[in-house]
């Protein structure tokens, strides 16, 4: 299958999925989310593929966020639908995929990009990587699982700080917090991930799939949290802060939020 926004490279039992929108810093639009869904589903049913690496094209960004221009004018209902559909179509799919998915985080992983990386089974970052969830600076909250997966990985307090400050952290801090498993030089990122994939590929794919399912089961008590996130995300679309935040972003100026 050919994809407009993805490159798929298969090496023996490994598939490398590269999000290829370099002029948009690989931002996730609806078309790319659908293509990622299709690619992951196809690779999961390919018995030859034991491991998947997902990364972004170029050295600047893994995924620099969602394509804000697509949803800046959404209503509350449309915002909620966007989060619900996206979570089901891609982020929950990746988290529960029976084939292990490694995120090779090269450069910026912001907003939906960090949420995609967190949905993967684990993460390796290049030494120039920057990660964050800047949604509150736009008058909205993370809507693709960020409010649930980030606390699971870095703890509640660290997640609260990252989300509420809308700031970025570097790869070294991400490693200290447990957000990424390894930090390697940019030029070694893919080769390092390929070595990890080879180690996984030597093991029983059936056992690995069961391990993924069992580990994920331990976090299912947060399932209602995802529903709460979807509702809150959609509600943000009806606020003046959201309109100001997205308008300021598109106009390339600092936002002046009216607040409560």
Catalogue the active-site residues.
115, 135
**SS3 state of residue 60:** coil
82 with 32: CB under 8 angstroms? no
String of DSSP letters for 139-175: T----SSHHHHHHHHH-HHHHHHHHHH--EEEHHHHH
Q: What's 90's DSSP letter?
A: I
Q: How would you classify the pairing of strands 101-105 and 122-126?
A: parallel
| DSSP letter assigned to residue 19 | E
Dihedral (CA of 132, 62, 84, 40) sign: negative
Cα separation, 219 vs 183, in Å, equals: 26
* Among 69, 68, 229, CA closest to 146: 229
Give the pair of three-digit tokens for residue 258: 């009216």
Q: For residue 16, give both structure tokens.
A: 């490398």
> What does the alpha-carbon distance between residue 56 and residue 220 come to, in Å, rounded to a whole number?
29
Report yes or no: 185 and 150 within 8 Å, Cβ to Cβ: no
CA distances from 237 to 8, 77, 153 (A): 35, 8, 27
């Amino acid at each position: 299958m050919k994809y407009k926004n993805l490159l798929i490279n298969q090496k023996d039992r490994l598939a490398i999925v590269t999000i290829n929108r370099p002029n948009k810093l690989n931002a996730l639009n609806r078309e790319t989310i659908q293509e990622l869904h299709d690619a992951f589903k196809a690779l999961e049913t390919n018995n030859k593929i034991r491991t998947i690496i997902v990364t972004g094209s170029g050295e600047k960004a893994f995924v620099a966020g969602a394509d804000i221009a697509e949803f800046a004018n959404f209503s509350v209902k449309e915002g909620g639908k966007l989060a619900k559909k996206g979570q089901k179509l891609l982020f929950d799919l990746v988290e529960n995929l029976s084939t292990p998915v490694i995120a090779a985080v090269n450069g910026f992983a912001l907003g939906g990009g960090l949420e995609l990386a967190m949905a993967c089974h684990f993460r390796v970052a290049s030494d120039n990587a920057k990660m964050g969830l800047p949604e509150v600076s736009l008058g909205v909250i993370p809507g693709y699982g960020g409010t649930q997966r980030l606390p699971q990985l870095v703890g509640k307090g660290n997640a609260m700080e990252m989300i509420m400050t809308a700031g970025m952290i570097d790869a070294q801090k991400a490693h200290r917090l447990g957000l990424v498993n390894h930090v390697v030089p940019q030029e070694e990122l893919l080769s390092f991930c390929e070595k990890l994939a080879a180690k996984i590929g030597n093991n029983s794919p059936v056992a690995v799939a069961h391990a993924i399912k069992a580990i994920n089961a331990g976090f299912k008590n947060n399932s209602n949290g995802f529903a709460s996130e979807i509702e809150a995300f959609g509600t943000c679309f009806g606020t003046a802060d959201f309109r100001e935040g997205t308008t300021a972003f598109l106009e390339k100026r600092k936002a002046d939020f009216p607040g409560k």
